[in-house]
């Protein structure tokens, strides 16, 4: 009875209530825009990326979709760090957040329990833009942060000197940091030495020893290319340009396509019904090995034969790295590799611009016309079994 009265009350009141709620939400948004967004900037610690979004909406939209924005909250990491926690509480707490939720350790106060909402934003705006200096020789604490009012970048929006006349002092000061568009900025996280001193991932080193490094092509050059957008809202200041650096960081599908160039070098019958196919694969687009980083990634090369009087046959060969523990066990997920990995058994990933010929031999192929196709793709076996098995096409060839 009472319940009914209560729900009746709710029914009649709800529409007004919801309208009021929406209205106040709108008011907060309006108030948060412009002048008061500036007031919401945290001068003593990290500011939430949503505050930056009031004036840098297009960049926020691009970042929001990135793996960086979900570096802490994504289910794969959550599950993986839970597993890590079972093995070593200290490691899971202090070590993983360093790269997946860096504001937990670089701020004026530690937030290892991840209580602050800004910590859960993963690799957010204010983490990157308050980096003062990168020292890759210091593997434990590669970034030196100067958290507070000043934001650093290399775009010269504000000219070469800190806070010239064009700056918006109400929101924040900005300084020109020449190294900001250099790979070192990324290298502090994309070079992963675990507690046993094993390099679980070494994207930075792979890049450093490639021709791209020699030619001055940085991570940002491929991953943060200019995309349409305005760097800040016209309500704040008239934007001087109509492009922003892509903050989603992942290369678009069009850039992935053809990352591995495939050529069918030869395809011919051998004796006794055997059939041999030689495929040449070349890493033509990535500035590091394929696959790079986490050892759960694999490059797969697949050859398919189809012909008269035979059913379709497929062979797959995989390339990547194998990390083992002290007893020689092959570690297949990030948790194990990060915690128990002690040695790199082998690494068959494809170096930048490396061309490699791979041979496939099929048995019992009837004589006659045979159609041969080859396909390269990237796979990832996440620790969460409900997650999709990711499959990214990289290249194709046919004969």
Q: Which of residues 313-332 bind ligand HEC (CB under 6 A)?
A: none
Among 22-30, 34-42, 263-271, 360-368, the segment contacting ligand HEC (CB under 6 A) = 34-42
Q: Which is nearer to ligand HEC, 219 or 277 (CB)?
A: 219
Q: From the CB of 79, what's the least distance to ligand HEC, in Å?
A: 7
Q: Are strands 321-324 and 370-380 parallel, antiparallel or unpaired?
A: unpaired
Q: From the CB of 238, what's the least distance to ligand HEC, in Å?
A: 10
Q: Which residues between 97 and 126 bind ligand HEC (CB under 6 A)?
A: 98-100, 102, 123-126
Q: Can you spell out the DSSP letters for 88-132?
A: -HHHHHHTTHHHHSTHHHHSSS--TT--SGGGGG-S-HHHHHTEE
Task: Tell me the C-alpha distance between 246 and 251, whole Å.
Answer: 9
From 210, 207, 212, 211, select the one nearest 187 (Cα to Cα). 207
Helix (H) or strand (E) holding 51: helix 49-55
Query: If binding is defined by CB under 6 A, does position 129 make contact with ligand HEC?
Result: yes
**45, 97, 147, 166, 267 from 110: Cα distances, Å:** 11, 11, 13, 35, 60
Q: Which is nearer to ligand HEC, 148 or 275 (CB)?
A: 148
Query: If binding is defined by CB under 6 A, does position 147 make contact with ligand HEC?
Result: no
Q: From the CB of 261, what's the least distance to ligand HEC, in Å?
A: 12
Count other C-beta atoms under 10 Å from residue 83's C-beta: 17
Query: If binding is defined by CB under 6 A, does position 37 make contact with ligand HEC?
Result: yes
Q: Which is nearer to ligand HEC, 19 or 211 (CB)?
A: 211
Query: If binding is defined by CB under 6 A, does position 148 make contact with ligand HEC?
Result: no
Q: Which residues between 206 and 245 bind ligand HEC (CB under 6 A)?
A: 207, 212, 217, 219-224, 231-232, 236-237, 244-245
In the shown chain, the binding pattern of residues 343 to 382 toward ligand HEC, with x for contact by CB under 6 A and - for none, equals -----------------------------------x-x-x
Q: Which is nearer to ligand HEC, 107 or 124 (CB)?
A: 124
Evaluate the CA torsion angle 57, 153, 45, 77 in order and state its sign. Answer: positive
Is the separation of the CB atoms in 55 and 129 below 8 Å? no
Among 108-116, 252-260, 272-280, 360-368, the segment contacting ligand HEC (CB under 6 A) = 252-260
Exactly one of 59, 198, 305, 323 binds ligand HEC (CB under 6 A); that residue is 59
Is the separation of the CB atoms in 38 and 20 below 8 Å? no
Exactly one of 174, 198, 262, 397 binds ligand HEC (CB under 6 A); that residue is 174
φ/ψ of 247, rounded to 5, equals -95, 0
Nearest to ligand HEC by Cβ — which residue? 293
From 223, 201, 226, select the one nearest 212 (Cα to Cα). 223
Q: Which is nearer to ligand HEC, 306 or 379 (CB)?
A: 379
Q: Which is nearer to ligand HEC, 222 or 267 (CB)?
A: 222
For residue 368, what are its two tokens?
């006659």
Task: Tell me the C-alpha distance between 291 and 376, whole Å.
Answer: 12
Is the separation of the CB atoms in 334 and 383 below 8 Å? yes
Q: From the CB of 371, what's the least distance to ligand HEC, in Å?
A: 28
Q: Which is nearer to ligand HEC, 138 or 308 (CB)?
A: 138
Among 13-21, 185-193, 305-313, 364-372, the segment contacting ligand HEC (CB under 6 A) = 185-193
State the Rg of the chain over Cα: 26
Exactly one of 24, 250, 364, 381 binds ligand HEC (CB under 6 A); that residue is 250
Token match 């492009």: residue? 243
């Amino acid at each position: 009875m009472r319940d009914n009265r209560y729900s009746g009350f709710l029914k009649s009141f709800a529409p007004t209530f919801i309208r009021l709620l929406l209205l106040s939400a709108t008011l907060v948004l309006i108030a948060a825009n412009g002048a008061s967004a500036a007031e919401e900037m945290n001068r003593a610690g990290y500011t939430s990326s949503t505050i930056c979004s009031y004036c840098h909406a297009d960049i926020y939209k691009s970042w929001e979709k990135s793996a960086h924005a979900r570096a802490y909250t994504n289910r794969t990491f959550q599950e993986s760090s839970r597993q890590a926690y079972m093995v070593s509480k200290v490691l899971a707490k202090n070590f993983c957040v360093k790269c997946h939720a860096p504001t937990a350790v670089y701020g004026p106060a530690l937030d290892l329990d991840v209580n602050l909402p800004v910590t859960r934003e993963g690799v957010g705006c204010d983490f990157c833009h308050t980096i003062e200096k990168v020292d890759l020789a210091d593997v434990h604490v590669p970034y030196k942060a100067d958290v507070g009012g000043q934001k650093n970048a290399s775009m010269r929006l504000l000219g070469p000197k800190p806070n010239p006349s064009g700056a918006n002092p109400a929101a924040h000061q900005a300084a020109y940091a020449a190294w900001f568009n250099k790979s070192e900025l990324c290298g502090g996280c994309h070079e992963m030495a675990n507690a046993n001193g094993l390099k679980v991932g070494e994207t930075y080193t792979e890049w450093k020893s490639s021709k791209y490094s020699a030619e001055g092509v940085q991570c940002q050059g491929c991953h943060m290319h200019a995309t349409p957008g305005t760097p800040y809202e016209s309500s704040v200041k008239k934007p001087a340009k109509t492009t922003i650096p892509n903050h989603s960081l992942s290369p678009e599908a069009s850039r992935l396509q053809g990352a591995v160039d495939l050529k069918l070098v030869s395809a011919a019958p051998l004796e006794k019904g055997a059939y041999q196919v030689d495929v040449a694969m070349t890493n033509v687009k990535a500035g590091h090995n394929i696959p790079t980083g986490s050892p759960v990634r694999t490059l797969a090369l697949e050859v398919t034969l189809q012909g008269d009087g035979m059913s379709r046959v497929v062979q797959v060969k995989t390339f990547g790295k194998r990390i083992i523990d002290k007893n020689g066990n092959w570690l297949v997920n990030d948790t194990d590799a990060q915690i128990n990995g002690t040695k790199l058994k082998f690494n068959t990933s494809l170096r930048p611009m490396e061309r490699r010929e791979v041979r496939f031999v099929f048995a019992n192929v009837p004589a006659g016309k045979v159609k041969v196709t080859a396909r390269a793709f990237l796979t990832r076996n996440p620790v969460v079994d409900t997650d999709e098995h990711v499959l990214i096409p990289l290249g194709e060839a046919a004969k």
